[in-house]
Structure 1
Amino acid sequence: MTKQLKRRLGLWAAVATGVGIVVSSSALVSLGQGFGAAGPGFILAMGVALFLNLCVAFSFAELSSIVPRAGGINHFTLPALGPFMGMVAVISGYVLVTIFAGSAEAGIAGIVFRDVFAPGINPMVISLAFVILLGIVNVLGVEVYSTIQIILTTLLIASTVILGIIGLTGIGATGTPVPTTLEFNPSGWGIFSFTALAIWLFVGVEFVTPMAEEIKKPKIYVPLAMILSLVIILLADALFGFAAIKYAPLQLLGESASPHVEAAGAILGKTGQTWMGIVTILATVSTLNTLICAIARMIYSMGIEGQMPKVFGKTNRYGSPWVAVALMCALFVVFLLVGLTNSASIVTFILAGCFCWLVTYFIAHLNVVILRYKYPKVERTFKSPLGFTFQIIGMIGILYVMFNMSPDAALRTEIYKYSLLFLGLTVIYAALWVKFVMKKGIFQTTPLEELIETTSTTPRDSTHELKEDMSI
């Protein structure tokens, strides 16, 4: 019999999941290049990105309060738009993007580890070791995952904040500030073309929702964890970003493949470079750890619902969806060995991934609107405020960003090429699977009552316990 997921995670573990997926090595690159290209005014693009992600957090929090399931966006979409759109949202917005971005993250970790700590070691060996080790961590269950994630996230945020404070105050800094007076926003209204890059600094806080079946008091902790994650990320990134442009020339930051390391070196010399090397590795390991954990649970839920082979719905004696974990690690290993992702393509894949992620966010906002009309009386322990205000603003903002992914026309073309490739593969697979394997209509929805009453942590006939649990 398939074992079921257990509620073992507290609030800080949920926050560590939200922060840990967002503060990645690619996000640190985006932060440095954003401030380098736009100057201090990049904080305006960050503010817009934060607001759009706050809209996303409100929508995901409401959806999770209705259906606190491990499937996340998939289960939220089933009663609103059906299995086809649920599969498109998960596979294009998460699984395919994760394969490229995650393997690139692992590759960066190997390169940084070699450059900072072991010049004679093949970075591929280090990258593969990280993936295998984190696969083992996640097979051993969510408690082991959460312990590692809390440690990684705490060290990561603390290091970023401390480096930012040293740079801004000059206390303990060994470098010399750049002797220039920067105009706050030289880009003018063009600053908002950097919003797509800024969104990558916050994208992913909704990874808390696939953990809903394992978080204590999910109706309270899920929305709170997402909001706290966004605030923590903004403060840490702003501190380090302004410290970076105080000590490093904008051109250096804008053109460097590792601007965060350049900034740390400008502030603290060799010590800063070594420190930021450690931070980069922590960021990558934290991101990979969360990706493996959360995406595996999305795949697990799709196996339970028949949207993927049933084998992915299996758990082991530790309550871990081990087959789905093994799949994610295997995909990372294959893409690392083939070399389809590398530092030269990381920015393109970041923004292509951001495009697909935005499609998923648009679907999430649409789900909220549809479910409010279809099920106006269903219990919502968290409800997005001001009617549909945040959903409408969120959808308009998403469309604007999707059509303005980069000020560089050539880069935009590359972004759209990979984005459409991701989406096209997903649409073909999802349509064929729903039609010929599930034998359902493309937009045939699942009754919300069925999803609520068959939460995988609760036996089908334990209705009383379910209602009691949902009232927490």
Structure 2
Amino acid sequence: MQQTQTPVAGAPAVATASNTPRGVLGFKSLLAVAVGLVVSQGVMVIMLQGVGIAGAAFIVPLTIAWVLALCYAASFSELALMVPRAGSLSAYTEVALGHFPAILSVFSGYVVVAMFALSAELLLVDYLLGVLYPGLGGSLWIAFGILGVFTALNLLGIDVFAKLQNLLAFVMVVALTLLGVSALSGGFAPHEIAAGQIFGEFNLGDGALTLIALAIWGYVGVEFVCPLVGECRNPARNIPRAMFFGLTMIFGVFLLYCLGALFYIPRETLMNAELPHLEYATATFGGSGTFLLAVAAVTATCSTLNTSLASVPRMLQGMAEQGQVFPLLGRLTPTSRVPWVAVLFIAGVTGVPLLIWGNDPGTVGLLLVAAAIAWLLAYIIAHVNVIALRRRYPDAKRPYRTPFYPLPQLIGIGGMVYAIVYASPAPELTAWIFTSAGVVLGIVSLVAMVWIKLVMKKPLFCPEPLEALGGDASSKND
């Protein structure tokens, strides 16, 4: 017997808005979203730490992590086009596993992660500018200023977002590619370390394979294009292409960026420096490198912030339409159709860690690692969703079908479990990080159970019928 969706009292009538494509975003804009969210300043630091630990052998975990990322992109592509709703992972999980895992996956894997990831990015750019230009950073006015500006710009609508994102992603990729190519070629400054020494130290026995967990952080987030499915042109073609092209572009940029660093910076410095990317840019370009790094760092932070403020609120909008969160989070502006309450909510929760841990960026960094565990759990849920929906609705229309199913899902689940096990950057921090992640997941789980039982009055693990979300469960694939 099929269940029908019971509207929550006071819920805004926004379902039509999210299900009617406006066709604003093309392939280039979606590619900019995919690349712009992933390549953050924090990831720029993490990649250099990885190559500092393993040297040139870091190429191997970087490549394996890229393959794992292609697997999750395949799962999200199939899900996003089978259930094309703004809610993204919550919508897919609702029809595959039920409301409880749907709410848990989005809040633990996106809202909490976005909260700490954006805060860490803003703290890092504030600190970097303070080092480069004494007197600018340290007071957090730069961090709050950037947050305020991009919140306001996102409230103006998806058109403004797309133009900004295209520019930010282009500048960021060009800056990082220029840094990597210049370092590899030695075009601006002679190499400090010979190629023979770099590749002569290539050794997977130094623990390089355990760095898959670190390398995967360099690829998480391209699925942020999925909540924008209602805003894009030709989603069946452009959403998978944007994710796959984006991941491959990121892999190429990081490969140049990481290998180039080994020609100028000793591995010990890359591992231990607070701002290894600053050491890298200065060694490669001299004094002018600080300006290039400032441009790359600021655009990376702004791009990550811009994408998150566009995508996560639309996840909450889709959840509000299904009664999974407060209806207020689904309210749209009358002209630009922006979920303005959700945008302000994400901006607000981003500012909280800045106020609490503003003078201790290291704490936020540890919290980010803890929250990232939840992100990988969300990816595992996405893979499980594909398997569950293939079994429940084998004949449903799927504009995109994962090649070699179910191998990408099984490989992806195994890889994400491995990454979670080795998520801690140091043994002495393992207990703290997993305890923090457990507390986050516990709080989210408790709130989700109370909401589903008392407000939605639904079972925790009873999937909704695909037809309730606009999917076609009976049509054969072409």
TM-score (norm 2): 0.91
* 1:85 correspondence with 2:108: no
Distance (whole Å) between structure 1 residues aligned to residue 450 and residue 249 of structure 2 = 42
Distance (whole Å) between structure 2 residues aligned to residue 259 and residue 150 of structure 1 = 27
| Cα distance, 1:73 vs structure 2 | 0.6
Distance (whole Å) between structure 2 residues aligned to residue 368 and residue 326 of structure 1 = 32
> CA 1:120–1:162 in 2, change beyond 3 Å: closer, same or farther?
closer
Distance (whole Å) between structure 2 residues aligned to residue 100 and residue 421 of structure 1 = 15
Match of 1:41, as an amino acid? A
Identity %: 33
Unaligned runs of 5+ in 1: 455-466
Match of 2:121, as an amino acid? E
> CA 1:121–1:235 in 2, change beyond 3 Å: closer, same or farther?
closer
CA RMSD of aligned residues (A): 2.0
Partner of 2:372: 354
Is contact 2:126–2:137 with CA below 8 Å preserved after alignment? no
Partner of 1:215: 232
| Cα distance, 1:430 vs structure 2 | 0.8
* 1:421 correspondence with 2:436: no
* 1:319 correspondence with 2:332: no
Q: Please give the residue correspondences for 1:163-174 in structure 2 after superposition, counting only pairs within 5 Å.
A: 163-171=179-187, 173-174=188-189
Is contact 2:123–2:358 with CA below 8 Å preserved after alignment? no
Is contact 1:175–1:268 with CA below 8 Å preserved after alignment? no
Distance (whole Å) between structure 1 residues aligned to residue 457 and residue 190 of structure 2 = 65
Q: Which moved more, 1:270-279 or 1:39-48?
A: 270-279
Q: Please give the residue correspondences for 1:431-470 in structure 2 after superposition, counting only pairs within 5 Å.
A: 431-452=449-470
Partner of 1:191: 208
Three-state SS of the structure 2 residue aligned to 1:387 is coil
Q: Please give the residue correspondences for 1:26-175 in structure 2 after superposition, counting only pairs within 5 Å.
A: 26-117=42-133, 119-120=135-136, 122-171=138-187, 173-174=188-189
**Partner of residue 252 from structure 1, selected from 269, 277, 290:** 269
| Cα distance, 1:351 vs structure 2 | 2.6
Match of 1:192, as an amino acid? L
Is contact 2:82–2:471 with CA below 8 Å preserved after alignment? no
> CA 1:121–1:108 in 2, change beyond 3 Å: closer, same or farther?
closer
Partner of 1:295: 312
Three-state SS of the structure 1 residue aligned to 2:470 is helix
| Cα distance, 1:120 vs structure 2 | 4.7
Partner of 1:459: none
Is contact 1:17–1:149 with CA below 8 Å preserved after alignment? yes
> CA 1:345–1:184 in 2, change beyond 3 Å: closer, same or farther?
farther
Three-state SS of the structure 1 residue aligned to 2:440 is helix
| Cα distance, 1:280 vs structure 2 | 0.7
Is contact 1:193–1:407 with CA below 8 Å preserved after alignment? no
Three-state SS of the structure 2 residue aligned to 1:207 is helix
Partner of 2:17: 4
Q: Which moved more, 1:182-191 or 1:231-240?
A: 182-191
Partner of 2:10: none
Distance (whole Å) between structure 1 residues aligned to residue 138 and residue 47 of structure 2 = 28
Is contact 1:307–1:434 with CA below 8 Å preserved after alignment? yes
> CA 1:282–1:342 in 2, change beyond 3 Å: closer, same or farther?
farther
Three-state SS of the structure 1 residue aligned to 2:444 is helix
Partner of 1:399: 417
Is contact 1:26–1:105 with CA below 8 Å preserved after alignment? yes
Three-state SS of the structure 1 residue aligned to 2:210 is helix
| Cα distance, 1:111 vs structure 2 | 2.0
TM-score (norm 1): 0.93
Deviations 1:374-430 (A, max 9, x none): 000111111001120111111111112222224631132232122112211111111
* 1:177 correspondence with 2:192: yes
Distance (whole Å) between structure 1 residues aligned to residue 35 and residue 245 of structure 2 = 9
